[in-house]
Copies of this chain bind each other. A is one copy, B any other.
Amino acid sequence: MIVLRSVSVIGIGETRMGKLTSKSIRMLIKEAGNKAIEDAGIEKERIQALYMGNYNASYWSIQSHIGALASETLEIGHIPTIRTEGACATGSLAFRQGLNAIAAGIYDVVLIGGVEKMTHKPIETITTGLASAADFEYEVNLGSTFPSLFAMIANRYFYEYGDVRKEMAMAAVQNHDNALLNSNAQMHKKITIDQVFNGFPVAHPLTVYDCSLVTDGAAFVVLAATEVAEKIAKKRVVEVIGTGHAGDSLTLAGKKSITTLEATVKAANEAYKMAGITAKDIGFAEVHDCFTITQIINTEDLGFFEKGRGAKALAEGKTALDGQIPINTSGGLKAKGHPIGATGLSQINEVVTQIRGEAGARQIKNANIGLNHNLGGTAATCVVNVFKGR
């Protein structure tokens, strides 16, 4: 990398996550987008481009072209817009395109948003729409959906590293505990390990409590060149000190390993290298817990714990709010919610909130360097961003 200039977050905003029956896509965009612009404390005229993450309104709401819809809804002028999609990493992909454009010097200030409206559809339609992020010909057509694919990952992990069923349940319990402290979270419900074990079976060993949620919601971020950010931001400027984007085969069968997710390793290494740090320097992280097993694997692939030791570290409390490296302080996809296109940006909302010291009851100590880790499909797409308070 040769010409990157520094880029920072100056505004964040998100809706409450959940089954928001009375709110349309437009209303979700309006609420979260205006919050982020207000949080940045800038005039709307400053925003030069809009990057929107949306996974599947084309199918669930017969609404494509979400970039233009969002700019009109937010009344931010006739600026260039784009929609990105890369399964559940959709939001972070939008973030990265905006980041690149500022880094290239094309824009100084951009708005990045993510939105998903899912709960208005029957569950079969939701499942079909979600399954389209896997390989239709080679996986979905043969009966695979994401719970079954991640169940295979869990079973293989058990085979290679031992049974971590209990620790998976503990990940769910911990994320639900964190969500109790997050007013934007979809779930405000304490659960127990027993409940997870005895939950409705989805795909062995996963029960319904091991799975992330079906969620309506939107999250936005205002990004600016750091030199501009320092002049215009109302709140503490949070710099993006590293970013990485990596890929892997779309199919599970095409992967070298399904217990080490290569895209995570590569994206993290790219981000750490750019930031000039190692995993040890990361103070806390929002990681992509689409399923409980994924959270455990992620904390290993990101370099927080040795391979095969993620479950033990979790059981020892190392990822709790007061642990060595708090994970998913927001409640994660599991309990805060998983509004697909908004998820990456909601993770970034949480990281920035923690760095600013605005996380209230769930505020962690020493929240100076944090990351968000966002996966698409069975880790066919991964984006990792590292943030640091200035």
Contacts and interface: CB of A to CB of B under 8 A. Distances in A.
Nearest to A376: B65
A198 interface: no
A78 interface: yes
Nearest to A70: B250
B86 A65 contact: yes
A361 to B, nearest CB: 37
A263 B81 CA distance: 11
A93 B137 CA distance: 27
A86 B72 CA distance: 14
Nearest to A380: B68
Contact of A104 (B85, B104, B247): B104
A158 B87 CA distance: 44
A122 to B, nearest CB: 15
Given A86-B82, A246-B78, A105 B68 contact: no
Contacts of A1: 104-106
A157 to B, nearest CB: 20
A59 interface: yes
A2 interface: yes
Contact of A72 (B2, B24, B140, B250): B250
Interface in A353-387: 376-377, 380-381
Interface in A1-32: 1-5, 24, 26
A250 B380 contact: no
A161 interface: no
A188 B4 CA distance: 48
Contact of A68 (B55, B63, B128, B376): B376
Contact of A249 (B78, B85, B247): B78
Interface in A213-253: 245-251
A104 B3 contact: yes
Given A62-B136, A105-B2, A131-B62, A67 B26 contact: no
Contacts of A275: none
Interface in A36-72: 49-50, 55-56, 58-59, 61-65, 67-69, 71-72
Nearest to A262: B78
Listed residue (A104, A245, A248) with the most chain B CB atoms within 10 angstroms of its CB: A104
A84 B246 CA distance: 16
Given A78-B247, A381-B67, A137 B62 contact: no
A389 interface: no
Contacts of A162: none
Contact of A132 (B63, B78, B106, B135): B63
A303 interface: no
A65 B377 contact: yes
B129 A69 contact: no
A276 interface: no
A135 B134 CA distance: 28
Shortest 7 CB-CB contacts between residues of A and residues of B:
A2-B105, A68-B380, A104-B104, A68-B250, A3-B105, A80-B245, A64-B132
